[in-house]
Amino acid sequence: MNEPLAKTPVLVIDDDPSMRTALRQWLRLEGFETTEVQDGESALRHIHAGYPGCVVSDVMLKGEDGVDLMQRIAEIDSDIPVILITGHGDVPMAVEAMRGGAYDFIEKPFDPENIAELARKACERRALVLENRSLARRLEGAAGLETRLLGNSPAMRTLRERLLHFAGTDAPVLITGETGTGKEVVAQALHTFGHRREAPFAVINTAALPEAMVETELFGYEAGAIAGADKGRIGRIEAAHRGVVFLDEIASMPPSLQPKLLRVLQEKQVDRIGSRRPTPVDFRVVSATNVDPREAVAAGQLREDLLFRLNTIEIFIPPLRERGNDCLLLFDTFVNRFAAQYGVGVADVTARDETFLKTYDWPGNVRELRNAAERFVLNAGVGRQPLEVLVRGGAVAVDPERGGSLKELMDAYERTVISRALRRHEGRIADVMRELGLPRRTLNEKMTRLNLSRPKVLGDE
């Protein structure tokens, strides 16, 4: 016997109980998962546009023949294969039905192996149709993603591919990456290109929730449950029913919130304040953090069991400095958008500006680059300034290729070395001192003279 697709569903429709039982036994022995019904109305409750199997139906049903039912199934999805079972006198009708779109027919009495073989081939055809549809959606999604997540670097191509693959699932996703890399953009894309796209996308900044209002904001309350509440109110999680809940800055969420959130994720239900019974809620959870979540667990900031509930899938967004020439594409795109927004001409990017774009570390990542592009466009009409000055501030920086005094060149070099060390060590002065071999007092003096500070270098100002 040929092996069918494992656990592929087959919907059996026959008003004869003994025939339904026989078909169930034969098909299940061949490895199919069967559902048996006796009429068309019951059958249609199991059919939807993404139904992954085939239909086996008797031609003669009480109240409705199998050909009419086949046409109603085709209105839902014309590619669902329908196999008709006929008596001797129904063969002409079955032949006509095949012209109308039936997959095949089999005449009574029939060999059980023949019906199983027909079902196997029909389900293989159905699987191919669904695979082609999925590929078409992914190709369409890829084109849409390229406008949301710009970049030609291998890292960004991989990110887009992974995102489209995971968008079709309901598994929890944890997005990691530095500040400004676009974690919320990725979360929105997971929603837009997933099957929950028509339902809400709820953004919850867990670090910004006041502890006194955590339960009311997330879970809601019944009328009279809290002071001054004449009417009940659903929480943010319940409001996102059937949609996506995006939990931003999960490593900074209040400790009191974490066990309550874990319970909601485990049980998929919320307890409104004042309610006597929980409310079921269906949602996909996507979360994000700009720190290493495992380090947050080790530091006691994040519960390990909560992390396990959130990171079934992890998506890392690379920092801009690791994306090669993507900064040039992004900057050009932002400049054109802001020029159109403000109704001004597009300023030329000089070779010096381009060099700065490619060599600057962009600690604020895409967010900082976007801000730089907006400033570049707005300043173009009031005196041309190098992009480096607009980003770093202060006087015009020295261009080593064009010369300058030794002091200016040395200051420029020291500024670059110290800035990169601060970013590399995330502002930890002790680590910077150790790497550069400088005592604290000398490092502080240099940073003061060069107008450097940790907030400014890390993009927190």
The CA–CA distances, whole Å, from 404 to 13, 106, 163, 408, 410 equal 87, 90, 48, 6, 10
Give mean pLDDT, residues 24-45. 90
Q: What are the CA-CA distances from residue 323 to residues 367, 391, 413 (Å)?
A: 15, 19, 24
Q: How many C-beta atoms surround the C-beta of residue 393 within 10 A?
A: 10
Beta strands 233-234 and 201-205, pairing class: unpaired
Distance CA 150, CA 346 (A): 20
For the beta carbon of residue 366, count every other beta carbon within 10 angstroms: 24
pLDDT digits (tens, 9 = 90+) for 151-164: 889 999 899 989 98
Q: Report DSSP letters for 126-156, one per residue.
A: HHHHHHHHHHHHHHHHHHHHHHHS---SHHH
Residues 6 or more apart in contact with residue 416 via CB below 8 angstroms: none
Classify the C-alpha dihedral 65-66-68-69 as positive or negative.
positive
Inform me whether the pLDDT recorded for 50 exceeds 80: no
Q: 178: how many CB neighbours lie within 10 A of its CB? A: 23
Map out the domains of the chain with their CATH numbers. 9-131 (3.40.50.2300), 166-318 (3.40.50.300), 322-458 (1.10.8.60)
Strands (E) in 279-323, as ranges, are 279-280, 284-289, 313-316
- Residue 308's pLDDT is 95
Higher pLDDT, 416 or 75: 75
Give the integer Cα–Cα distance in Å for 172 and 218.
Answer: 18
Residue range 323-380, pLDDT digits in tens? 988 999 999 999 988 988 888 888 788 888 888 888 888 989 999 999 999 999 988 8
Supply the DSSP symbol for 207.
G
